[in-house]
Each structure stands twice: as structure tokens, then as C-alpha cells.
Amino acid sequence: MTIELIVRGGTVVEPTWQGPADLFVEEGRVAAIVAPGAAAPAGSENARVIDATGRLVMPGGVDPHCHVGYASGEFTSLDDYRGCTLAALHGGTTTIVDFAIPSPGQRPLDVARAQRAKASEGLCDSALHASVVAWDDSTEEQLRTLASEGIVTVKMFTTYRGETMADDDTILRTMQTLADIGGMVVIHCEANHIIEEDQRRAQVRGEIDAGHMSGTRSALAETAAVAEVLAIAERLGSPIYFVHQSTPAAIELVSAARRRGIPAYSEGVAHHLVLDDGKYAGPEPERYVCCPPLRDRETVDALGGYLFNGEITTLASDHCCYDLAQKREHPHDVRSMPNGLPGVETRLPVVFSEYVVGKGLSPQRFVELSAANPARVNGLYPRKGALQPGSDADIAIWDAKAVWTIGSGGLHMATDYSPYEGMEITGRPTTVIVRGRVVIEGGELVDGTPRGRHLPAGAVDLTVF
Ligand SMILES: [Zn+2]
């Protein structure tokens, strides 16, 4: 064994334990976790040693929901694989999972292959969710081909009629096929008919602008769609993963289904867990236009409770990198505004600060939510999301006490604003390691070589609970 990198003196954090330990890296993988100060094997004299004294040594984050250069209607989000992974790394995330979402008329297989080819531009590894919008005679074969190529998770939407919305038959058939091949649908649930009624009423009231975002997409629309999709999963016995759940009611439906034996999972997104709908009453409400919208403070606080009890499975960013010019293009009508918030870089620091430092969430649970569980449900564990012998040496070394203020100028995402502008944060990653190479040091990029790989997923792990 020839060790090339040693991380000494830190506190290693895994979901099931944490404590003082040193970490040996060999050929880009974790070789061993050893007692503090343990000697490296003979032949390792040239190993680089990183001093992590006083720091938390965590597996690099896995962001299970990240839109890179997403084209939707007239808008395309502004980053590419290099830009998105650069920002991810600065925020302690070392694996992103992107989406290949077909425009009308495109085949899921073709879109996924084209998007997958971009992974090599990234500064870290990535995986991909395919997407099905409309079922046809070729879809099952395309899904089986995708699975054979390591893409087993498929994004679906119950909303955005005429763009990405899939009907119930398409959702059922896709779930059925994926259950058969070890995959899983990951679904955006908002009942489109209710949303359209919400928006029709909002327009009649003259309240269809960003300042009234909350009233244009009701919480009821979310729970209605979650209940319908859970019924399909229950009938089929298939797994199901709900992206960006924004209300306790939606999470409770999933938790109840899980107690009935359905492998159903809830994803929480940083902005729904931290920001509330008071932002829509502020001077620039378009900065916060996202779907589902930000909810009221009581809902946000109740949602956060599910980070502690295990009923939120994963923590995601739902990163979508629009800038203010795009957000301001149609300020008076949220229906034509690009929805989505930049967040791949801020996901971990914001939730660490608000919940680990602020509310006593354990670092172990933080690692489980933000790295281990996202890797598991995407068939990437324990290669990613873990610090175990054999895992890729993707490591984020955190200064849990660093105090800093979020300002768009200090961030690396391809936009000119952050929804967290001005927020004081405690804790940040200072050194980030990708497959044994130090890429961020002292908060600065020190190695910008694109070494990203597309990660073929194994079967999704349905034993998360
Ligand atoms: Zn999304």
C-alpha cells in the first residue's frame, strides 16, 4: 500500500459514528481510517499530509437535484458542467446529479446521452436522472437501454402542461418499468389542474406578479399530487422519490406510505428549509420565484423538524442558475418567469449554519442527509457519500466555527445574486478533495483540471430506512 495523501488530526464524521481519526488515501480512494497519529505504511514517505486539526472531515456532499444549463421555454440557466461543479466544490459538494429533460419531440435516451457526454467538463464527478414526458411504444426499450448504461432514475413532472408534464398513464408505466429494472421515478408533484385554477384566480385578483407568488401555487396542489402518485406506487409496489417537498402535509403522506411498506422518499431543499414567503413582500420578489414557492414561517419551521426525525431522506439544492436579468424579463407574470434558484454552492453552508449550528442537528445526521442518503437512493453508495475503505476520496474539510456573510460577489455560481444575500453563516468547507486531489484549499481553487466522470448508477438502495 502506497499512501499518497494523509488527512491528520481532524474529526471524521460518518452517519453512524464520528470521532478523531486520520484518513489514508491511495489511488484516489480511501485506503483506511486509522487512529490519530498512526504511522503510514512503509513506502508512503512522499505522501502529502493535510493538517485537519480542529476541523470536521466529512464525505464530500452529494447534491441529488441540480439543473445544469437547463433549457426551459425561452430561458436557459446560465451554467455548464465546469461552472456548476466549480461552485459545488466551493460549497463542499463533490458529486452532482443533473437532469436530462427532453423538450417536446425529443427522445429521453438521446437527451440523456448528450447530457452525459458533458460530465467530462466537470471538476468533479456527476450522475444523471433521465426524464420521461410522454409514453410511446419505444419508451420501455429506451428505459432498459438507459439502465444498462447506468441511468436508473427518471424525473417526471405532474405540472407544466405542454412542456414537461406527464399524464397519469405515463407516470404509471414509467414507474412500473423502473421497478422492474431496479430504478426509481423522482417526481415533481404539484397538481397542474389546481395550479392553473390558483393562477386563474390570482390573475382575476390582479395578483399574478412575483410579489404574490405564494397565492399562485397552493400547498393543496402539492399534497393532491403526492397522494395520487403514492396511490400509483402502492398499487404497483414500486419505489418513489418526491423532489422538493415543501410542506409538512406532503411529508406526512410519504411517511404514512412508508409505514405501509411503500419505499417512498422525501427530498428537502435548502431554500424551503431556510427562507419564508416574507421574501415575496420585499423589494425584489422575483429573486425568490421557485416552484413550489417559499412557504410561510410556520411551515418552514415545521418542515425543518423533519430533518431531525429522519422523515426527510435527502437534502438537495434544486440548483437552477438564472440571473437577475432573466428573472426581471417578465416581472408582472410569474407564469412566464424563469423559476428556480441558484443554490449548489450554498446548500451545505446554509443548512449547516441554520440547523447544525443554530438548532442542534447532529453533524452525523447532516452527513447522512447531504451525502450518504443522496448517494444511496441514486445507486452511488458507498463509492460516493461515504468515507469508508474503497470509497472515492471525495472529502470536505470544514471549519465549523468560521463566520462569514453570503454575498453574490464571494460566490462562484454563474449568476449575479444569491437568495441568501447578506445572511451571516457559521461554518464553511475550507479544503475540498476530489478523488484524492486537493482542489480547494483555504477556500480557493487550486486545481481546476476537469476530471469529471459520469457515474453509472447501480440499483437504487431501497434499504435507506
Ligand atoms: Zn428541480
4 C-alpha vs ligand 1 centroid, how far in Å? 38
How much is the CA Rg of the chain, to the nearest whole Å? 21
Say yes or no to pLDDT of 453 above 90: yes
Mean pLDDT of 365-386: 97
CATH 3.20.20.140 at 60-377, yes or no: yes
Mean pLDDT of 411-425: 95
Task: Quote the mean pLDDT of the chain.
Answer: 96
280 C-alpha vs ligand 1 centroid, how far in Å? 20
3-state secondary structure of 108: helix
Query: For residue 309, with 0-12 CB atoms within 10 Å meaning exposed, 13-18 middle and 19 or more buried, which class applies?
Result: exposed
pLDDT at 270: 98
pLDDT at 421: 96
| C-alpha neighbours within 13 Å on the C-beta side of residue 275 | 30
3-class DSSP string for 216-232? HCCHHHHHHHHHHHHHH
Say yes or no to pLDDT of 252 above 90: yes
Least confident range of 67-76, 240-249, 428-437: 67-76
pLDDT at 144: 98
Say yes or no to pLDDT of 179 above 90: yes
Query: For residue 371, with 0-12 CB atoms within 10 Å meaning exposed, 13-18 middle and 19 or more buried, which class applies?
Result: buried
Structure confidence by residue, pLDDT tens digits, 220-234: 999 999 999 999 999
67 C-alpha vs ligand 1 centroid, how far in Å? 6
Alpha-carbon distance of 435 to 452, in angstroms, equals 10
317 C-alpha vs ligand 1 centroid, how far in Å? 8
244 C-alpha vs ligand 1 centroid, how far in Å? 8
Say yes or no to pLDDT of 464 above 80: no
44 C-alpha vs ligand 1 centroid, how far in Å? 44
| C-alpha neighbours within 13 Å on the C-beta side of residue 7 | 33
Say yes or no to pLDDT of 18 above 80: yes
101 C-alpha vs ligand 1 centroid, how far in Å? 11
325 C-alpha vs ligand 1 centroid, how far in Å? 20
269 C-alpha vs ligand 1 centroid, how far in Å? 10
339 C-alpha vs ligand 1 centroid, how far in Å? 9
* Cell, residue 434: 476530489
CB 28 within 8 A of CB 393: yes
pLDDT at 465: 58
Structure confidence by residue, pLDDT tens digits, 108-144: 999 999 999 999 999 999 999 999 999 999 999 999 9
Sheet holding 29-34, edge to edge: 29-34, 22-26, 5-8, 48-51
Per-residue pLDDT band for 43 (boundaries 50, 70, 90) equals confident
* Cell, residue 79: 451554467
Grid-cell match 436522472, residue found:
129
Phi and psi at residue 300, to the nearest 5°: -60, -45
Say yes or no to pLDDT of 290 above 80: yes
314 C-alpha vs ligand 1 centroid, how far in Å? 14
463 C-alpha vs ligand 1 centroid, how far in Å? 24
84 C-alpha vs ligand 1 centroid, how far in Å? 15
160 C-alpha vs ligand 1 centroid, how far in Å? 12
145 C-alpha vs ligand 1 centroid, how far in Å? 24
CATH topology agreement for domains 5-58+391-402+422-445 and 60-377: no
64 C-alpha vs ligand 1 centroid, how far in Å? 10
Say yes or no to pLDDT of 367 above 70: yes
pLDDT at 59: 98
128 C-alpha vs ligand 1 centroid, how far in Å? 13
The type of residue at 178 is L
56 C-alpha vs ligand 1 centroid, how far in Å? 30
pLDDT at 409: 82
Name the more confident of 409 and 90. Answer: 90
318 C-alpha vs ligand 1 centroid, how far in Å? 5
291 C-alpha vs ligand 1 centroid, how far in Å? 8
401 C-alpha vs ligand 1 centroid, how far in Å? 31
Say yes or no to pLDDT of 331 above 90: no
pLDDT at 87: 98
364 C-alpha vs ligand 1 centroid, how far in Å? 26
Say yes or no to pLDDT of 104 above 90: no
441 C-alpha vs ligand 1 centroid, how far in Å? 30
208 C-alpha vs ligand 1 centroid, how far in Å? 22
Mean pLDDT of 394-417: 94
CB 264 within 8 A of CB 189: no
Length of the chain: 465
60 C-alpha vs ligand 1 centroid, how far in Å? 21
Mean pLDDT of 295-302: 98
296 C-alpha vs ligand 1 centroid, how far in Å? 21
66 C-alpha vs ligand 1 centroid, how far in Å? 7
Mean pLDDT of 274-293: 96
Say yes or no to pLDDT of 455 above 80: yes
**Domain boundaries, given as residue ranges, for the chain:** 5-58+391-402+422-445, 60-377
CA 283 vs. chain centroid, Å, equals 28
Mean pLDDT of 386-402: 98
CATH 2.30.40.10 at 5-58+391-402+422-445, yes or no: yes
| Percent over 90 (pLDDT), the chain | 94
